[in-house]
Amino acid sequence: MTEKVKVLLNDKAWARWLALILVALMMFFAYMFVDVMSPLQELIQTQRGWEPEAFGYYAGAEYILNVFGFLIIAGIILDKMGIRFTGILSASVMFIGACIKLYAISDWFQGTAFDLWLSSWWTTMPGSAKLAAFGFMIFGCGCEMAGITVSKTLAKWFEGHEMALAMGLEMALARVGVFAIFSISPRLADWFGPNDRTVVIPVAFCTALLLIGLICYIVFTFMDTRLDNEIKSERQASSAPEEDEEFKASDVGKILSSKLFWVIAMLCVLYYSAIFPFQRYATNMLQCNLGMTAEAAADIFRWFPIGAAMLTPALGYYLDRFGKGASMLIAGAVLMIACHLTFALVLPAYPSTAVAFTAIIVLGISFSLVPASLWPSVPKIMDKRYLGSAYSLIFWVQNIGLALFPILIGKVLQASNPGVTDPLKYNYTVPMLLFASLGVLAFFFGIWLKVLNAKHHYGLEEPNIKSKTVDEVEVEEADV
């Protein structure tokens, strides 16, 4: 007689997919807030006096505290305190940071003694930009902590199941958040009419959504508590020992001493530094090259995340069943290089909406190839007990690039356009070439990763779902 095994909550399809929806909604709203002001660069410059350099400092501020060690602490908190505590903490921190940023750009702050004091020193950044950057910094701590928490959550709930597909769907929903905010942010800014445009309404709207995301994650914690109780009960019934050793701070050293970790981390920072900082400037770049309004430019760029959203789950499905993760990383880097070279050299010479739209869609395909294969590869090379710290350290390295590159782009944009004060007259050739150079470096790190995988057999080219043995099929049939 075939022994019947106990079905855990995450073995039930409806439960693990519901868990995915709840945690993914938190990240969906977070990604909306990240880019809520990206289509409004021209408006924030004319209304609040944020020059490109100031906007670059603001954009890079999201990652500053993470670079200076917070993300490493976040990973330790995650491995020590678990996904429930860390998820609620991260969502709460995001909401607090968003409220600070909302106050900074509101009319309530303008002209106050605090505003005048902030504006009196380091005049490169107005007082509103300084306080908004501080709020964005706080938000960024919560956002990156939430990112590693969601990654570990999906690794837990989809272990032995459709892990790459789940991670792909979570990232796809986040990309839809970018599409949504590029679609509605310029329109929300026109809420009171074209003559009374404001950045306050879009930021307030996304701040409210972050509160809803916090509520969604709280609901998820009840499901996760039940799953942990079931796992504990099963172990007690079978007298099985705990699967994993307790996380130790010394494990951080083991991660940092891994060559493979650094190859993946460098590939990650190079690739993402050519994507997220680009999103901050993409709308204005299209305005300057095509001579269109912010709303029209945002309507073109919004299709970038949709390309990623449509393909990432399909690529995750393919990765689960057929593998080829390292090869996907290389292909994504090649496509990214081609797109940024198009923005740098082709679009200024041939200002065509069709060229811009095509390059945006191809960049979206590139953005689906890399994340779909990168994040599910980490559990293959890192021990489960310090998986949260491994993700946090990769995010930490990534945040160094994400903090510095928007600042660099802002400085380069201003330096390569001497005397230009009209935000619709900038030449973006040099910044786009810098983005393309990151893609070239990412391509070589992808090749290196594939060589290491072929030599040491890490399984990065292998599928996540293994073929079942006859005995495993019998157990499943008995369970049904």
Task: Provide the pLDDT for residue 247.
Answer: 54
* CA gap 34, 68 in Å, rounded: 20
**Model confidence over 238-250: pLDDT tens digits?**
655 555 555 566 6
Coil vs helix vs strand at 247: coil
Coil vs helix vs strand at 231: helix
**Model confidence over 96-111: pLDDT tens digits?**
999 999 999 888 888 8
Task: Provide the pLDDT for residue 88.
Answer: 94
- Average pLDDT rounded to a whole number, residues 264-273: 87
Angle of CA points 217, 220, 226, to nearest 5°: 150
Q: Which of 382, 183, 133 is nearest to 302 (CA)?
A: 183
Angle of CA points 277, 282, 288, to nearest 5°: 135
**C-alpha dihedral, 357 to 361 to 364 to 365, nearest 10°:** -160
Q: Pick the range with the lowest mean pLDDT from 1-5, 70-74, 246-250, 377-381.
A: 1-5
More confident of the two residues 161 and 397: 397
Highest mean pLDDT out of 253-267, 322-336, 422-436:
422-436
Q: What is the 3-state secondary structure (H, E, C) of 273-324?
A: HCCHHHHHHHHHHHHHHHCCCHHHHHHHHCHHHHHHHHHHHHHHHHHHHHCC
Confidence of residue 472 (pLDDT cuts 50, 70, 90): very low
Q: Which two tokens stand for residue 248?
A: 């130790």
Coil vs helix vs strand at 21: helix
Q: What is the mean pLDDT of the chain?
A: 82
**Contact status, residue 391 vs residue 76, Cβ threshold 8 Å:** no
Task: Provide the pLDDT for residue 427.
Answer: 92
**C-alpha dihedral, 22 to 25 to 27 to 32, nearest 10°:** -170
Longest dimension (CA), the chain: 83
Q: Which two tokens stand for residue 39?
A: 């289509």
pLDDT higher than threshold 60 for residue 230: yes
DSSP symbols for 405-467: HHHHHHHHHHHTSTT---TTS---HHHHHHHHHHHHHHHHHHHHHHHHHHHH--STTS-SSPP
- Average pLDDT rounded to a whole number, residues 396-405: 82
Could you give all domains of the chain from N- to C-terminal order, each with its CATH number?
Answer: 24-228+247-479 (1.20.1250.20)
Angle of CA points 155, 306, 52, to nearest 5°: 100
pLDDT higher than threshold 90 for residue 344: yes
Q: How many CB atoms lie within 10 A of CB 236?
A: 9
Coil vs helix vs strand at 249: coil
**Contact status, residue 214 vs residue 95, Cβ threshold 8 Å:** yes
Exposure string (b/e) for 15-24, b if CB count within 10 Å is 16 or more?
A: bbbebbebbb
* CA gap 162, 317 in Å, rounded: 7
**Model confidence over 359-378: pLDDT tens digits?**
998 888 887 777 667 766 77
- Average pLDDT rounded to a whole number, residues 61-84: 82
Q: Pick the range with the lowest mean pLDDT from 90-99, 206-215, 387-396.
A: 387-396
Contact residues for 344 (Cβ-Cβ < 8 A; gap 6+) = 428, 429, 430, 432, 433, 435, 436
Contact residues for 111 (Cβ-Cβ < 8 A; gap 6+) = none
